Amino acid sequence: MESYFKQLCQDMLDQSKLSEVLCNYNGQQGKDALLKALVNLLCDELGWQISPQNIVLTNDSQSAFSTYSICSLADPPTVHADACCSH
């Protein structure tokens, strides 16, 4: 995984997109490019059938625990097969 992220960062650096991806907030769910890359990685490496809607990015561990606590009280989201592991 480390080599994958190093390559991903290098590719974004080569395309002059690394600063944008790392420094600009891009919505409530997080960075679109990062979410898509994580989905592809988890689908390819682990065979998980997920979509970006299944991933939550937080700023720190406290935010993660708070988000998890709130989400654990709600109904789990539905993942549609056509949204999974698209490259």
Residue-wise pLDDT for 32-42, tens only, equals: 788 888 999 99
Domain that holds residue 41: 2-83
Give the HSE-up count for residue 36: Cα atoms under 13 Å, Cβ half-sphere.
7
Q: Provide the domain count of the chain.
A: 1
DSSP 6-38: HHHHHHHHHTT-HHHHHHS---SS--HHHHHHH
Residue-wise pLDDT for 18-57, tens only, equals: 887 777 765 665 667 888 889 999 999 999 999 988 887 7
Interatomic CA distance for residues 25 and 45, integer angstroms: 27
Query: Residue for token digits 């490259």?
Result: 87
Interatomic CA distance for residues 57 and 36, integer angstroms: 12
Query: Residue for token digits 């390559």?
Result: 7
